[in-house]
Structure 1
């Protein structure tokens, strides 16, 4: 499941992932990305993981398509979560974007929010 949470910047998408992400979860992000791009801005994504276990197959495919289509549209991605996923998720995302990707432990989520909103 993917829940959209709120941060204050106009070009930040903030989300919290629980369990497995499905295609429908990834499709929630498309209009948010396009709203930011329509303003002429690059996307910054705060991605918090809480008991996140990955994607089902259609969800993974949808995520790969979205990341590939928008590879140059991301500026920063803050990954927040469990140490077990740190290297895997960060390494997984790098080939699909030119964005600066930084991992934060869950207890550093306020630092992650500050970083994603900072210049």
Structure 2
């Protein structure tokens, strides 16, 4: 196993009077990363009344997933998908546009990819799609 930093950090930020969940993925995510973060995320989202979740996912330092972790990510998306209004993916990966298109099939809301952080924040924080 590598000593390279990897994992998922989660926070909540307010932009233009809109609350959003901000997630940052770093390094190569593992099954253990998802084992740690999934219960916390599901518990936090379950406590939200009338959930209309807006998310910003920062993949600028993300290298990818181990195979089992990719499956964990897919399952987490299915569990949370009905509560999500918008997800903005920020980064500079060649595959992020395709990931946003495919990911949008599995969530109730809209998902888009952005190469500029400010554009991602502005879109997610806007009240309209």
| TM-score over 0.5 for the pair | yes
If you compute each CA radius of gyration, which structure gives the higher value, 1 or 2?
2
Structure 1 runs of 4+ with >6 Å offset: none
Task: Give per-residue Cα distances to partners, 1:67-110, cap 9 Å, x unaligned.
Answer: 112221111000001141222321331222122111110xx212
TM (norm. structure 1) is 0.79
Q: Secondary structure at the match of 1:84?
A: coil
Structure 1 gaps of 5+ residues are none
RMSD between aligned alpha carbons? 2.3
Shift of 1:113: 1.6
Contact 1:11–1:42 at 8 Å: present in 2 too? no
Matches within 5 A, 1:20-31: 20-26=28-34, 27-31=36-40
Matches within 5 A, 1:1-119: 1-8=7-14, 11-26=19-34, 27-40=36-49, 41-105=51-115, 108-119=116-127
TM (norm. structure 2) is 0.74
Q: Secondary structure at the match of 2:82?
A: coil
Higher mean Cα deviation, 86-95 or 13-22? 86-95
Tell me which protein shows more helix as a share of its residues.
Answer: 1
Shift of 1:59: 1.2
Q: Give the distance between the partners of 1:118 and 1:57, measured in 2 at CA.
A: 35
Structure 2 gaps of 5+ residues are 1-6
Higher mean Cα deviation, 69-78 or 15-24? 15-24
Higher mean Cα deviation, 64-73 or 36-45? 36-45
